[in-house]
Amino acid sequence: MASKVLVIAEFRGGKFKKGALECVAAASRLAPALGGGDVTALVIGGADAKAAAASLGKQGATRVLAACADWLAEFNGDAYARVAADVVRAEQPALVLVAATLDGKDVAPRVAARLDVGYAPDVTKLAVEGGKLAIARPLYAGKAYANVTLAGAPAVVSVRPNTFALLEAPGADAPVADVALAFGAGDLKSKVVAVEAAKTDKVDLTEAEVIVSGGRGLKGPEHFVLLEALAAELGATVGASRAVVDAGWRPHHDQVGQTGKTVSPNLYFAVGISGAIQHLAGMATSKCIVAVNKDKDAPIFKVADYGIVGDLFDVVPRMTDEVKKLKK
Ligand SMILES: Cc1cc2nc3c(=O)[nH]c(=O)nc-3n(C[C@H](O)[C@H](O)[C@H](O)COP(=O)(O)OP(=O)(O)OC[C@H]3O[C@@H](n4cnc5c(N)ncnc54)[C@H](O)[C@@H]3O)c2cc1C
């Protein structure tokens, strides 16, 4: 088995995605068990991505390959997958890791298809046991886990953000080498003309360590100030159930669940959320779940680590006050 791990490290909005850094850190922990090979990070993007590439050494990359050009500055699934597949063919790693972000979920299966190898999406367990990769991914809204064995080499795996910790003692910058691109902008089937990103300075839900989500129990959009106050004290991001998004109380990019975002924070508050299976699909792998609901039989309590049966309009302000006191 080749021993290298290659991480396709996503660079977006002037920095590496947290999930990408987690993949590099995970790769550096796995590499010794895979035979001690190096950890190579592949950066695809424009000039700003190249300028930041060396910093991946801090999370354990031993070398960085930069496939950077103006026409790669904006994400293009087709182009990125072609570049990545070419690099993987040349490098022959045992394992290819990608963070399971929106773009990562686009690129990773394309790379696997181009290489005709197996792909495990959105995994939450990745280890080396008995010299072999042990991979598990949640199914049925986290009610079951599938142990996955991949045929062929390399194994292509996308990792759910917030699954692995960053290195506690970051290292030094890594050497960067340019990738010679085998094709150009004119060879692409599609071109990204413009990207319209939602204007927000809050931490994206998929990267947030703490999330305070609200549901229909809040009774109206004006009451989300309660959650925003708690979130501000906790340094959290506010999320929402689909019921409130459909009602127009919150924007769609706040939605957690099967048709929203999949999150895995260290701490998830579900406030006035019943816990429908489609909501659980997006948050059941959170490390610690706190539910506030006035109905003691609400399904959310089945997945909650801590449950408070009570009226959220009474409970949430008291929680916020308690957090304030603790911080003092
Ligand atoms: C194909 C499909 C995809 C879907 N995708 C998603 C998805 O991505 N995300 C998602 O969230 N849903 C999704 N849904 C919808 C899902 O089935 C539920 O309808 C939705 O999650 C319910 O939202 P809710 O919990 O906010 O509302 P409700 O189910 O109405 O629950 C409100 C809860 O608030 C509690 N409550 C009320 N007042 C108070 C109070 N004063 N204090 C405390 N608690 C109170 C109630 O007891 C209740 O449990 C999907 C559905 C389908 C069919």
pLDDT in tens, 190-245: 888 888 877 777 888 999 999 999 999 999 999 999 999 999 999 999 999 999 99
Inform me whether the pLDDT recorded for 172 exceeds 90.
Answer: yes
Over range 265-283, report the average pLDDT.
97
What pLDDT, on a 0 to 100 scale, did the predictor assign at position 42?
A: 98
Q: Can you tell me which residue has the tokens 């050494």? A: 57
Does the beta carbon of 295 sit less than 6 angstroms from any atom of ligand 1? yes
Inform me whether the pLDDT recorded for 55 exceeds 60.
Answer: yes
- Ligand 1 atom 11, closest CA: 241
Q: How far apart are CA 208 and CA 287, in angstroms?
A: 12
57 phi/psi in degrees, rounded to 5: -60, -30
What pLDDT, on a 0 to 100 scale, did the predictor assign at position 161?
A: 94
Q: How far apart are CA 260 and CA 288, in angstroms?
A: 20
Which class for 245: exposed (0-12), middle (13-18), buried (19 or more C-beta within 10 A)?
Answer: buried
pTM: 0.86
- Ligand 1 atom 8, closest CA: 257
What pLDDT, on a 0 to 100 scale, did the predictor assign at position 30?
A: 93
Distance 217 CA to ligand 1 centre (A): 8
Q: What confidence category does residue 2 fall into, taking pLDDT thresholds of 50, 70 and 90?
A: low
Q: How far apart are CA 283 and CA 198, in angstroms?
A: 22
What pLDDT, on a 0 to 100 scale, did the predictor assign at position 283?
A: 96
Inform me whether the pLDDT recorded for 162 exceeds 60.
Answer: yes
What pLDDT, on a 0 to 100 scale, did the predictor assign at position 194?
A: 83
Does the beta carbon of 274 sit less than 6 angstroms from any atom of ligand 1? yes
For the segment 241-264, what is each residue's pLDDT rounded down to a tens digit?
Answer: 999 999 999 999 999 999 999 999
Q: What confidence category does residue 294 fall into, taking pLDDT thresholds of 50, 70 and 90?
A: very high
Q: Tell whether omega for the bond before 154 is within 30 degrees of 0, i.e. cis.
A: yes
- Ligand 1 atom 18, closest CA: 276
Contact (CB, 8 A) for 114 and 81: yes
Does the beta carbon of 239 sit less than 6 angstroms from any atom of ligand 1? no
Percentage above 70 pLDDT, the chain: 99
What pLDDT, on a 0 to 100 scale, did the predictor assign at position 25?
A: 97
DSSP string covering 134-159: EEEEEEGGGTEEEEE---SSSEEEEE
- Ligand 1 atom 38, closest CA: 217
What pLDDT, on a 0 to 100 scale, did the predictor assign at position 114?
A: 97
Q: What confidence category does residue 3 fall into, taking pLDDT thresholds of 50, 70 and 90?
A: low
Best of 294, 300, 315, 316 to mutate for ligand 1, by most ligand atoms within 8 A of CB?
294
Distance 12 CA to ligand 1 centre (A): 32
Q: If DSSP codes are grouped into helix, strand and coil, which group holds residue 72?
A: helix
Residue 233, token pair as written in the block: 């004290």
Domains, the chain, ordered by start: 5-187 (3.40.50.620), 205-327 (3.40.50.1220)
Q: State the alpha helices, DSSP H only, in 31-115.
A: 47-52, 77-91, 102-115
What pLDDT, on a 0 to 100 scale, did the predictor assign at position 192?
A: 84
- Ligand 1 atom 39, closest CA: 217
Contact (CB, 8 A) for 256 and 282: yes
Which class for 200: exposed (0-12), middle (13-18), buried (19 or more C-beta within 10 A)?
Answer: exposed
Does the beta carbon of 299 sit less than 6 angstroms from any atom of ligand 1? no
Over range 103-108, report the average pLDDT.
97
Percentage above 90 pLDDT, the chain: 85
Report the run of H or E that residue 126 belongs to, with start and end: strand 125-129
Best of 223, 226, 252, 258 to mutate for ligand 1, by most ligand atoms within 8 A of CB?
258
